[in-house]
Structure 1
Amino acid sequence: MRHWPLTELSITTPRLVLRYPSLDDLDALGDRATEGIHEEGEMPFLVPWSAADPGERARSTLQYHFRTWGALTANDWSVEFAVVFEGQVVGTQGIMGTDFAVTREVKTGSWLGRRFHGQGIGTEMRRAVLHLAFAGLEARYAVSEAFEDNHSSLAVTRKVGYQEDGITMHDRQGKPVATRRFRMAREDWKEQPGFEIHNLGPCLPLLGLGPA
């Protein structure tokens, strides 16, 4: 789309493709949400959308992506990728920036269909979006946050090289729960072989990094 070049943006890694989702990709993400994202009794999200019934999980997945498309501005943006493994959409990986042209700081967030856990996909898709942040967007920092009991997310964050950056308390379903914050500086990022960004240039003005 000439007026929305994000539709052509993608990142490739040795095993994955991260691409701006088509409507068919969103339908597939809805299927992954329906199948389940985490074990019963867990809640990795501040907004407990994954506790809804399967049909509502699918609809809210699509609605979330539609909202991010409509709300994107050069000063406050979120780019949510569909993650494709062996030809199948398996989850989503996001990167967000607020006043990025000044702060040069991004946040990341993601989820992966439960049946695809334990295969190293979460680590590889996080490394992919960090490649976009540091090699593509010339970020200075990347930050991430996860509940203390979200052990898989914390393990990925530590594995790829973030440093601890404090805690934040939240009301999660009526109980006080801490999230652990993490930060990675550009000088601590280690570029991985086989990671490539495609069609970023036309997208830069939408992210506040060039003339509109």
Structure 2
Amino acid sequence: MSLVSHWPLAGLRLTTPRLELRLPDLDQLVALASLAADGVHDPAVQPFTVAWTDAAPEHRAQSVLQYHWRCWGAWKPEDWELNLVVLRDGVVVGTQGIGARDFGIRREVGTGSWLGRAYHGHGLGTEMRAAVLHLAFAGLGAQQAVSGAYIDNSASLGVSRKLGYRDDGIERHAVRSKPAVLQRLRLAAEQWQGGQRVPVAIEGLRECLPWFGLGEEADIQGRH
């Protein structure tokens, strides 16, 4: 028996013109942890509400490993977090997450991501977000996708707006013991369908549908 027989998510693949997104194997997870240790953003700013990147490099790496293992172990069809490693030419460049609660009923997903600092500024953030949006809308039949970024995070906000998200209110948080304003964003299926999209291919989804809270017989366009 293969791993995919017991854990179908291991066979899920998303491919774009430049990237492959998949559940990481152990070596890829170690590479991702090392990437986090090398740095994810300018230390002068903090784009995350949970300031995990303020830790020492070895602790950043450990937190990446533990977070992925925790999400794997806690997976339920009614409460899941899929964290995919992002590869360019076989090299780990970052991670793209997508998650939901009661997806079979609510049909809403949230996303989050980061890239190693060496890979910023090349449009990869847009391409990897577009990949999981294709999974959500075309693959799983989502109706809504939500995201958020602090108002000084122009790169993340730019990705969202490029992909058609609309403002959905604000939240006030405390980051590094200072007030910070987070801009919420929302993308409806109709907006996604009418926008310009990155070509995305999905492999291995059918066997995973029950893991996302959907029946294998679900009539969803875009499945492969």
SS of the residue aligned with 1:128? helix
Please tell me whether the aligned partners of residues 131 and 198 of structure 2 are also in contact (alpha carbons under 8 angstroms): no
SS of the residue aligned with 1:139? coil
Q: Name the counterpart of 1:207.
A: 212
The partner residue of 1:187 within 190, 193, 214 is 190
The superposition leaves residues 128-170 of structure 1 with CA deviations (integer Å, 9 ceiling, x where unpaired) of 0100000100100000011111111111111111000000111
Structure 2: which 5+ residue stretches go unaligned? 217-224
Q: Name the counterpart of 2:90.
A: 87
Please tell me whether the aligned partners of residues 130 and 198 of structure 2 are also in contact (alpha carbons under 8 angstroms): no
C-alpha distance in 2, partners of 1:16/1:86? 7
Percentage of identical aligned residues: 53
Please tell me whether the aligned partners of residues 131 and 191 of structure 1 are also in contact (alpha carbons under 8 angstroms): no
Q: Name the counterpart of 2:58.
A: 55
* Matched ranges for 1:35-114 at <5 A: 35-114=38-117
C-alpha distance in 2, partners of 1:48/1:185? 29
Q: Name the counterpart of 2:219.
A: none
C-alpha distance in 1, partners of 2:91/2:45? 25
Alignment root-mean-square deviation, CA: 1.1
The superposition leaves residues 1-33 of structure 1 with CA deviations (integer Å, 9 ceiling, x where unpaired) of 212100111100000000111111100101110
Are residues 1:7 and 2:10 paired?
Answer: yes
Please tell me whether the aligned partners of residues 29 and 90 of structure 1 are also in contact (alpha carbons under 8 angstroms): yes
C-alpha distance in 2, partners of 1:101/1:25? 30
TM-score for both structures, normalised by structure 1: 0.97
Alpha-carbon shift at residue 192 of structure 1 (Å): 2.9
SS of the residue aligned with 2:6? coil
Q: Which runs of 4+ in 1 moved over 6 A?
A: none
Q: Name the counterpart of 1:147.
A: 150
Structure 1: which 5+ residue stretches go unaligned? none
TM-score for both structures, normalised by structure 2: 0.92
C-alpha distance in 2, partners of 1:76/1:163? 25
Alpha-carbon shift at residue 42 of structure 1 (Å): 0.9
